[in-house]
Amino acid sequence: MRFAYSLGGMTDVKILFGDIIAEEAVKGTFLVSKGGKLVSPFEYAYFWRLTPKACALRREGSQKVDILFDNGRWFFGAIYAHELSKRCPNGDEYLIAAIVQHGTHVLNEEGDYLAFIPGYPRITFHYDSFLVAFHQEGPTPRVRVYDLHGRFLSEGELWDAITEAMERV
Partner 1 sequence: MRFAYLSDDMAHLVRLFDDIYLEGTGKGTAIPYRGEKVISPYEYHYFWRLSPKSCALKRYGQGMVDIVFRSGHMFFGAYCVHEIGGIWREDESGYLIAIMLRYGTLVMDDSMNVRCFIPGYPRIAIIEDMFLVAYLHHKTVPRVRVYDLAGEFLAEGELWDAIDKARSKIRGY
Sites of contact with partner 1 (CB under 8 A): 2-3, 63, 79-80, 82, 86, 88, 99, 101-102, 118-124, 127-128, 134-141, 157-160
Q: Residue 55 in 3-state DSSP?
A: strand
CB closer to partner 1, 35 vs 138? 138
With b for 16 or more beta-carbon neighbours within 10 A and e for fewer, the 132-158 pattern comes to bbeeeeeeeebbbbbbbeeeebbeeeb
Smallest distance, partner 1 to C-beta of residue 155, A = 14
Q: How far is the CB of 3 from partner 1 (least distance, A)?
A: 6
Question: Per-residue b/e over 46-71, b at no fewer than 16 CB within 10 Å?
Answer: bbbebbebbbbbbbbeeeebbbbbbe
Quick one: 32 or 97, whose CB is closer to partner 1?
97
Q: Return the half-sphere exposure (C-beta side, CA atoms, 13 A cut-off) of residue 29.
A: 14
DSSP character for 19?
T
Q: List C-alpha distances in Å: 120 to 36, 38, 83, 115, 117.
A: 37, 32, 14, 13, 8
Q: What is the Cα–Cα distance from 168 to 94, expressed in whole angstroms?
A: 25
Task: Decide whether 38 or 79 has the Cβ nearer to partner 1.
Answer: 79
Least distance in angstroms from the C-beta of 102 to partner 1 = 5
Based on CB atoms, which residue is closest to partner 1, 20 or 115?
115
Residue 16 C-beta: closest distance to partner 1, Å: 19
Residue 2 CB, nearest distance to partner 1 (Å)?
Answer: 6
Cβ distance 65 to 80 under 8 Å?
A: yes
Closer CB to partner 1, residue 71 or residue 136? 136
